[in-house]
Amino acid sequence: MTQPVVTLSNLGMTFNAGKHNQTIALEAIDLAIQPGEFISLIGPSGCGKSTLLRLVGDLIQPTAGGVQVNGKSAQQARIDQDYGMVFQTPVLFEWRSILNNVMLPLELRGMGRSERQKRAQALLHLVELSGFEHHYPWQLSGGMQQRAAIARALAIQPKLLLMDEPFGALDEMTRERMNMELHRIWLETKTTVIFVTHSIPEAVFLSTRIVVMSARPGRILRVVDVPLTVPRGEHTREETAYFQVETEVREWLRKAKGYATHGLPE
């Protein structure tokens, strides 16, 4: 078996440990993510999905267990820029054109101007933003801004893409379109993706596996395999297997919420 891109072993995260407002965000998380997988993290609000993503990205450090990315510590992986990250908001710099925003990570790596321009242009083509290179973020719609953010995350050609509810702020139609595009990009780049979402259809459409998490303290309740063939498209949403997976995830989510409200599964 190949080396996993991400290995989480007995991972735990407790905020304000030992204080009166101590919060156990994550507990006993074990997960290995193989190259090329598309993993969605889904669960009730406050179940620690985003926290888990931040631990993988070394934006925060765990209080228990460990994270390995590409066989390295999470910190080393961050320093080596082994991953690209897309946030809930596009986080584009308003003083930079779209092209310059996408070029930022390459600029920080000291890549030459013509080379990084070429790469950024290719990425803007990939996310279908060709022709908007010299626009400024405020001139683009929310969906287009988020696509630029995806292009920026892909600029360093990472093996791993971390996405924290990237389409949460978009309307349903735009979100579906973005899902199609992200699926296409994932197939083209063969990047491993960890994707945090609240939306069951989104998770089923995009993922190879869906990790359903319980309410706080966040634990992995169930890992649901998605046996849908690729490439996926409009037809996918009408397949029987699609409905089966959707139903399974929904049932597990209901159980996850049951833990939250009653402390017991329904």
Partner 1 sequence: MQLRRHLPAILLFLAALALWEGLVHLLQIQRFLLPAPSVIWAAFIENFDRLVHIGWFTTRQALGGFAIGCGAGILAALAVSRWAVASETLMPFAIAANSVPIIAFAPIFNNWFGVDNPFSKMMIVAVIVFFPMMINTVRGLTLVDPAALELMRTYAASELTILRKVRLPNALPYMFSAFKVAATLSMIGAVVSEYFGGNRSALGVFITQEAAQFRFQNSWAAIIIACIVGISFYLIVMLAERLAIPWHSSVRSEAGD
H-state helical runs in 95-239: 98-108, 113-126, 142-154, 172-189, 200-206
- Told to check if 138 binds partner 1 by CB under 8 A, we report yes
52 contacts partner 1 (rule: CB under 8 A): no
Does the footprint of partner 1 cover residue 113 (CB under 8 A)? Answer: no
CA 182 to chain centre: 11
Residue range at the interface with partner 1 (CB under 8 A); choices 25-33, 86-94, 116-124, 189-197: 86-94
Nearest C-alpha neighbor of 62 from the set 28, 104, 102: 28
Between 79 and 241, CB nearer to partner 1: 79
Residue 170 binding partner 1, by CB under 8 A? no
Nearer to partner 1, 83 or 252 (CB): 83
Interaction between residue 84 and partner 1 (CB under 8 A): yes
Biggest CA–CA distance in the chain, Å, is 59
Helix (H, G, I), strand (E, B) or coil at 14: strand
Packing angle of the helix pair 172-189, 113-126 (nearest 10 deg): 120
List Cβ neighbours of 13 (8 Å cut-off, separation of 6 or more). 24, 25, 26, 48, 51, 52, 55, 60, 62, 63, 64
Candidate list 1, 16, 95, 235; residue touching partner 1; CB under 8 A: 95
In the complex with partner 1, which residue's Cβ is closer, 101 or 208? Answer: 101
| Residue 248 C-beta: closest distance to partner 1, Å | 33
**What does the binding site for partner 1 look like in residue numbers (CB under 8 A)?**
57, 59, 78-79, 81, 83-85, 87-89, 91, 93-95, 104-105, 108, 136, 138
